[in-house]
Amino acid sequence: MSPHSVLRNARRLVVKVGSSSLTGPDGGLDPARLTALVEALAGRQLGGAQIVLVSSGAIAAGIHPLGLTTRPRDLATQQAAASVGQGALLAAYTRAFDAHDITVGQVLLTADDVTRRTHYANARRTLERLLDLGVLPVVNENDTVATSEIRFGDNDRLAALVAHLIDADALVLLSDVDALYDGPPSRPGARRIPIVRGPHDLVGVEIGGSGSKVGTGGMTTKIEAARIATAAGVVTTVTAADLVVQVLAGEDVGTVFLPIGVRGRSRRLWLEHATTARGRLVVDEGAVTALVVRKKSLLPAGIIAVEGSFHDGDPVDVCGPDGTPVARGLVNYSSTELPALLGRSTKELARDLGPEYEREVIHRDDLVVL
């Protein structure tokens, strides 16, 4: 059985479509391309599969209504364009899916949010409920409110994390290029790579940025997304939106990345891939062993230095004495509160400052070893 045929039998799929596959030559939303995609997805959903669509294109869809001629470069105008464009995008999806009697639901995620325990469980519950109800969720990053520090800015990785969140059977990344090539696809003689079995198959492959005016990450973010998804046990295919019918039918198109990890549910994957550290905690060797080998929580006693400015609940990197990051976690103290606690035992802190100071600096459930 060809690895591509896995797609034919997948019951739960995350399909991500890039801006370059939804827009016309002028960069604005092209309704005909959107309708063609919807027709293919509707056919599969009506055949009994559950689909989550991660759709880019909000910023692109805001270009025309705002009288702009190109994708804005500054964050504030991108966010304004996303605010206008996301409404237009969802209206277009609602209409197009409605023609097939499929109801869509909008899910706007801020990746950094989802990492927090309660939000993670909530996002998963909502997506599961939507799927149970036969709704097709249309996911995008909540571009309008995400600040530059917490902005994900890349829906390929977001789609990989959503695939993991809902335990999908497959992730399909649709772009303007039909597959991963061994070099820039415009270069004469560039060859399609049909199957990637592991990182060794990518040795020597030239992976570049976006070739379009509206896309963001190019092949780099797709490879990164495939790495995240396949490590979580989800088979991933990269192909062109024009080939969506063929790819869903399990035909030998695009590039299939075979799973290399085991499936499982863990918020830690989001912590590792969806957050940006706001600071660093330098710890001693004993603390490194406690975190990495013994899978313990981080206590104040092992911390040598605090760097950066952060609030409690923010993601921070934990670094060994030589400064190498060994773990990332959500910290329970702010950067102003923490320095006074360093090197002290939790018992002593609780006695001197009150019982709330007995808490860990990072609880092991909120910690991922890198």
Ligand X SMILES: N[C@@H](CCC(=O)OP(=O)(O)O)C(=O)O
Indicate whether 140 belongs to the interface with ligand ADP (CB under 6 A): no
Helix (H, G, I), strand (E, B) or coil at 23: strand
Tokens in use for 266? 């863990």
Residue 185's binding partner among ligand X, ligand ADP, none (Cβ under 5 to 8 angstroms by kind) is: ligand ADP
- Please tell me whether 85 is known to bind a ligand: no
- Please tell me whether 26 is known to bind a ligand: no
Indicate whether 212 belongs to the interface with ligand ADP (CB under 6 A): yes
**Closest CB to ligand X among residues 155, 236:** 155
Contact with ligand ADP (CB under 6 A) among 51, 168, 219, 291: 219
Residue 239's binding partner among ligand X, ligand ADP, none (Cβ under 5 to 8 angstroms by kind) is: none
Contact of 266 with 121, CB cutoff 8 Å: no
- Residue 282 CB, shortest distance to ligand X, in Å, is 34
As a dihedral over the C-alpha atoms of residue 132, residue 138, residue 142, residue 148, rounded to 10 degrees, the angle is 120
Contact with ligand ADP (CB under 6 A) among 218, 279, 300, 320: 218
- Residue 361 CB, shortest distance to ligand X, in Å, is 34
- Please tell me whether 216 is known to bind a ligand: yes
Q: 270 CB contacts (<8 Å, ≥6 apart)?
A: 111, 114, 115, 120, 161, 165
**Closest CB to ligand ADP among residues 191, 263:** 191
Residue 50's binding partner among ligand X, ligand ADP, none (Cβ under 5 to 8 angstroms by kind) is: none
- Per 3-state DSSP, the chain is made up of helix, strand and coil in percentages (nearest 5) of 40, 20, 40
Contact with ligand ADP (CB under 6 A) among 27, 28, 62, 217: 217
**CA contacts within 13 A on the Cβ side of 152:** 30
- Of 239, 236, 251, 224, residue with least CA distance to 177: 239
Residues contributing to the annotated binding site for substrate: 56, 143, 155
